[in-house]
């Protein structure tokens, strides 16, 4: 073959090979999408265009994006994306890859509607998604651990004395290679196949019906070919059902103070720290209060508070009014027995008309208290007194 022809043939081969490499992820996704709906009852979990069917629970608009048919997670802030409906018995398949070494993420199954007290994660069963460079230890591996988290329970198969189930083989690939998970959830039992082989199992899980979540936890993660096949429901005790959707929406993005008003004199006193936002308490000479841009009438609320050494009596003003103030006072006889000291305390309640109800860490503290003079509507305002941390601030419209 003449040299000129051989040279042209080589250039053509390199061009074709390069195009094949570039298009391979898209072609794989398109091929799977074409077959996915019909294959043994599987349905695509993402439409390839937006987050329809999913709820960003406590993350920012920038956290989750659809790019080139993939779901791309920025890892910031730490938080969750969940399905908009519950699942009981199902098979879930997905491919994932970490784009940075030591990346951390996870898939939650049978989870509640919002995050648990004092953490950015749901109560549920977590299927670990760790990048290999994170390293293995006695307490965890990077190859598909399964464990209950934040109040959920599970009996592990191949455990090490606790509630965590460990894989029988090391089968996950390092960044930036793709990995395939097949998660089977049936009657409170769960199994995980990593790259084609079942390696991790748990049983007697509670909850065993709830939401499916994808976790953002610091590293950039790509997901593709996410599909779910529902299996027939079976009788289930209500105690094993996760908390269903209450229409809460989070007021803090985890990356900035969008949706809040902060006075100029307080701008340097409030700080975002991933899923936590804090007042540093360095000065008490000026107004350090912050409030939501939106106003609320009849509404439900949740917020978590962590007091510091220098904390005074922080107040949360419902509808922006002192008449409807919740004072976080360690000397208050109603609250003191239920506060978590220097740990996280969860306040949850409703304000309907002028009637306030409040629980503190699940204990009822205020029942049908009339708040004479409470305005009909107003913002949620936080008035600190010294250093204090807030997290998991949610509201829901009661109308």
Structural domain contains residue 15: no
Q: Is residue 263's pLDDT more than 50?
A: yes
From the list 113, 90, 91, the residue with the least C-alpha distance to 234 is: 90
Average confidence score pLDDT of the chain: 90
Same domain, 333 and 366: yes
From the list 106, 104, 82, the residue with the least C-alpha distance to 94 is: 106
Note the pLDDT of residue 287.
83
Q: Is residue 20's pLDDT more than 60?
A: no
Cβ burial, residue 84 (10 Å; 0-12/13-18/19+): exposed
CA distance 133 to 166: 17
Q: Is residue 357's pLDDT more than 50?
A: yes
Same domain, 100 and 223: yes
DSSP-assigned letters across all residues of 230-256: E-------GGGBPPPP---EES--SSS
Evaluate whether 108 touches 215 at the Cβ level (below 8 Å): yes
Least confident of 146-155, 206-215, 269-278, 307-316: 307-316
Using pLDDT thresholds of 50, 70 and 90, give the confidence band for residue 338: very high
Q: Which residue has the higher pLDDT, 220 or 16?
A: 220
Domain total in the chain:
2
Structural domain contains residue 11: no
Using pLDDT thresholds of 50, 70 and 90, give the confidence band for residue 39: low
Structural domain contains residue 190: yes
Q: Is residue 299's pLDDT more than 60?
A: yes
Structural domain contains residue 8: no
Note the pLDDT of residue 3.
45
Same domain, 317 and 217: no
Q: Please report, rounded to a whole number, the percentage of residues in the chain having pLDDT higher than 90.
A: 83
Structural domain contains residue 376: yes
Angle at Cα 127 formed by Cα 135 and Cα 165, nearest 5°?
A: 75
The set of residues, in sequence order, having a beta carbon less than 8 Å from that of 253 and lying 6+ positions away, is 59, 60, 61, 77, 259
Same domain, 35 and 172: yes
The overall pTM is greater than 0.85: yes
Same domain, 62 and 186: yes
Same domain, 116 and 239: yes
Q: Which residue has the higher pLDDT, 267 or 23?
A: 267
DSSP-assigned letters across all residues of 346-394: EEEEEEETTEEEEEETTEEEEEEEE-TT--SSB--EEE-SSSEEEEEEE
Mean pLDDT confidence for 204-212? 98
Angle at Cα 399 formed by Cα 124 and Cα 114, nearest 5°?
A: 10
Same domain, 111 and 171: yes
Same domain, 321 and 381: yes
Evaluate whether 145 touches 166 at the Cβ level (below 8 Å): yes
Q: Is residue 316's pLDDT more than 70?
A: yes
Q: What is the pLDDT of residues 96-149, one digit of tens each?
A: 999 999 999 999 999 999 999 999 999 999 999 999 999 999 999 999 999 999
CA distance 323 to 317: 8
Q: What is the pLDDT of residues 164-192, one digit of tens each?
A: 999 999 999 999 999 999 999 999 999 99
Q: Is residue 7's pLDDT more than 80?
A: no
Using pLDDT thresholds of 50, 70 and 90, give the confidence band for residue 25: very low
CA distance 54 to 85: 8
Same domain, 63 and 119: yes
Using pLDDT thresholds of 50, 70 and 90, give the confidence band for residue 266: confident
Q: What is the CATH number of the domain that holds 254?
A: 2.60.120.560
Structural domain contains residue 13: no
Same domain, 131 and 213: yes
Same domain, 96 and 193: yes
Tell me which of 186, 212, 245 is where a domain ends.
Answer: 245
Q: Is residue 354's pLDDT more than 80?
A: yes
CA 162 to chain centre: 24
Structural domain contains residue 287: yes
Same domain, 323 and 226: no
Residue 143 sits in which domain range?
A: 23-245
CA 314 to chain centre: 27
Compute how many other C-beta atoms are within 10 angstroms of the C-beta atom of residue 353: 12
- Only one residue has tokens 């439409």, namely 47
Structural domain contains residue 10: no
CA distance 369 to 108: 38
Tell me which of 206, 222, 245 is where a domain ends.
Answer: 245
Tell me which of 220, 245, 270 is where a domain ends.
Answer: 245
CA 20 to chain centre: 36
Using pLDDT thresholds of 50, 70 and 90, give the confidence band for residue 285: low
Note the pLDDT of residue 282.
83
Compute how many other C-beta atoms are within 10 angstroms of the C-beta atom of residue 171: 16
Compute how many other C-beta atoms are within 10 angstroms of the C-beta atom of residue 55: 18
């Amino acid at each position: 073959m003449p040299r000129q022809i051989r040279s042209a043939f080589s250039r053509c081969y390199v061009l074709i090979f390069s195009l094949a490499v570039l298009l391979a992820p898209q072609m794989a996704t398109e091929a799977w999408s074409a077959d996915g709906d019909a294959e043994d009852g599987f349905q695509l979990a993402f439409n390839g265009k937006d987050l329809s069917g999913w709820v960003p629970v406590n993350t920012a608009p920038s956290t989750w994006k659809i790019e080139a048919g993939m779901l791309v997670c920025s890892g910031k802030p730490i938080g969750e994306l969940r399905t908009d409906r519950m699942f009981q018995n199902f098979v879930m398949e997905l491919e994932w890859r970490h784009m940075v070494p030591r990346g951390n993420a996870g898939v939650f199954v049978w989870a509640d509607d919002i995050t648990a007290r004092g953490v950015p994660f749901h109560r549920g069963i977590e299927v670990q998604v760790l990048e290999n460079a994170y390293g293995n230890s006695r307490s965890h591996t990077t190859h598909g651990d399964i464990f209950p988290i934040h109040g959920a329970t599970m009996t592990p198969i191949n455990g090490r004395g606790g509630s965590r189930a460990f894989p029988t083989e090391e089968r996950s690939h390092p960044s930036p290679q793709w990995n395939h998970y097949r998660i089977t959830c049936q009657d409170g039992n769960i199994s995980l196949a990593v790259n084609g082989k079942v390696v991790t199992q748990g049983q007697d899980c509670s909850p065993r019906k709830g939401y499916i979540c994808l976790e953002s936890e610091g590293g950039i993660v790509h997901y593709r070919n996410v599909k779910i096949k529902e299996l027939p429901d079976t009788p289930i005790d209500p105690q094993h059902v996760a908390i269903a959707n209450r229409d809460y929406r989070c007021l803090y993005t985890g990356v900035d103070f969008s949706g809040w008003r902060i006075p100029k004199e307080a701008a340097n006193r409030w700080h975002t720290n991933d899923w936590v936002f804090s007042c540093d308490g360095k000065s008490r000479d000026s107004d350090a209060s912050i409030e939501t841009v939106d106003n609320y009438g009849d509404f439900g609320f949740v917020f978590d508070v962590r007091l510091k050494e220098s904390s005074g009596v922080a107040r949360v003003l419902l509808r922006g009014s002192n008449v409807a103030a919740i004072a976080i006072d360690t000397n208050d006889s109603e609250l003191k027995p239920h506060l978590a000291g220097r740990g996280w305390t969860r306040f949850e309640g409703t304000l309907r008309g002028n009637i306030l109800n409040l629980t503190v860490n699940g204990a009822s503290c205020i029942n049908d208290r009339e708040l004479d003079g409470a305005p009909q509507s107003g913002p949620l305002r936080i008035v600190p007194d010294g250093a204090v941390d807030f997290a998991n601030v949610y509201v829901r419209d009661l109308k």
